[in-house]
Structure 1
Amino acid sequence: MIIVDRETMKNIDAYAINELKIPSICLVERASLAVLNNINLDIRNSFGIVASVGNNGADGMALARNLLSIGKKVEIYIVGDIKKASTDFLINFESCKKMTDKIFEIRTIDDIEFFKNNLEKINTIIDAIFGTGLNRTVSGIYSYVIEIINLSNIFTISIDIPSGYDCDGEMDFGTYVDSDFIVSMQLMKKGLYYDTYFRDKIVVEDIGIAQKAIDKFINI
């Protein structure tokens, strides 16, 4: 098993996209389908997708679109400024807007209360707030949202890594999602591998990053 830290994963992603010209939107789609394929859709019919506006959030929005496409009940909660969203996020966001009106931004205390109360209507949370690139303390609205997710006791699936958790397993960023299941993209992340609490909750899925990109930064 290949285990990577934050910097190595960042370099692999960048090389695949910028040098090998693998479209990032293709990786986003593969990531969303990787999560979808690990959901027991016989028992999980209602979803709260909690997404930021960056790369991890793009995966979450793509998953929301795919869940909506098969008729699942989906409510989307966006944390962060949509005006600063990544292109991949916006592509899937625009599609989701055509498919549902259950899209809510979390910006105020009232929004947080609305989010907390609405979670009672769903049985699965998808955590798509922060990915492996996080390298700072989780604060403000983000910390409140993560606290509500943890207090809800609703089955929570994290995309790639629990939001707020240090990919390298070295830093305490204040709070992180207490995930029930994690779909890690392409390679196992160092912090998760050495954390016995999370290790048995992880599945690693291939999302189409070329082996050439991995080999360039991994010496086996």
Structure 2
Amino acid sequence: MTSRTPLTREQSRAVDVLAAEKYHIPGVILMENAGRGCAELLRSKSPGNVLICCGPGNNGGDGYVIARQLDLHQVPVKVALFCSRERVQGDAAINFKILTASDIEILDVSDEPLCESFRAALAEADWVVDAMLGTGVTSPPREPIASAIRAINASPAKVLAIDIPSGLDCDTGEPHDPTIEADLTATFVTPKIGYETAAAQKCLGELHVIDIGTPQKMLREVLG
């Protein structure tokens, strides 16, 4: 078994739990490593203007780190927040506080329908980072994220999905309606088991595995 053996949804959750409880790795460190790795991948593509779309969970937290890392390297970046600021919790909240202190433009776009500021930012974007929904998704995306996914798919911008394209089921590999159609997917630790299906591969685009500092011993434990 290696770190490239695919994980299920439950095994991915086990990685997070074991990292914190048994291996003493704070989640905010793993999030920083994940975001930095994704930013480095995107910078290798000479991205131009970047719009980072963030949901309420840790996937959004990865997006905040990516925004800060891109800004550090003078890449023009905006963040679209698809939840109220009060819903950002835990490790994601730590990185959101850093983001708000960094003078990076944040668009509050949690209302329905999609606001004009989001549509304008999307029209200017060369790349969109999908950090809206993570591997926990088992049902179709709700509004306003559903409308955002459709707008992103219809736009000429290229898309980098963080860990998983929003709307894709990581276990079955089946895309819900709607699901992001990514040009690149940067997944963490290992691919997910559903990525092997033909339906998933149409949404994933080019798949990259980002190492975030999880010990091999822990991965062997998760994989049994």
Q: Secondary structure at the match of 1:157?
A: strand
- 1:200 and 1:68 mapped to 2: Cα distance? 25
Matched to 1:82, the amino acid is R
- 2:125 and 2:164 mapped to 1: Cα distance? 22
TM-score, normalisation: structure 2: 0.90
Residue of structure 2 aligned with 1:36, choices 33, 39, 44: 39
The two structures, once aligned, show a CA RMSD in angstroms of 1.8
Compared CA separation, residues 203 and 171, structure 1 to 2 (3 A):
closer
Gaps of 5+ in 2: none
* 2:98 pairs with 1:95: yes
1:161 corresponds to: 164
Q: Secondary structure at the match of 1:207?
A: coil
**Displacement of 1:170 after TM fit?**
5.1
Equivalent residues of 1:55, 1:89 under 8 A apart: yes
- 1:130 and 1:60 mapped to 2: Cα distance? 11
Equivalent residues of 1:68, 1:99 under 8 A apart: no
- 1:49 and 1:200 mapped to 2: Cα distance? 18
Equivalent residues of 1:65, 1:92 under 8 A apart: no
- 1:189 and 1:170 mapped to 2: Cα distance? 9
Compared CA separation, residues 170 and 178, structure 1 to 2 (3 A):
closer
**Displacement of 1:141 after TM fit?**
0.9
**Displacement of 1:45 after TM fit?**
2.5
Compared CA separation, residues 200 and 164, structure 1 to 2 (3 A):
closer
Residue of structure 2 aligned with 1:106, choices 102, 109, 124: 109
Aligned length: 219
Equivalent residues of 2:79, 2:106 under 8 A apart: yes
Task: Describe the superposition over 1:32-79 as per-residue Cα deviations: whole angstroms up to 9, x where unpaired.
Answer: 111122124563121101001211000000110111122221111001
Compared CA separation, residues 171 and 120, structure 1 to 2 (3 A):
closer
Gaps of 5+ in 1: none
- 1:214 and 1:101 mapped to 2: Cα distance? 36
* 2:30 pairs with 1:62: no
**Identity value in percent:** 25
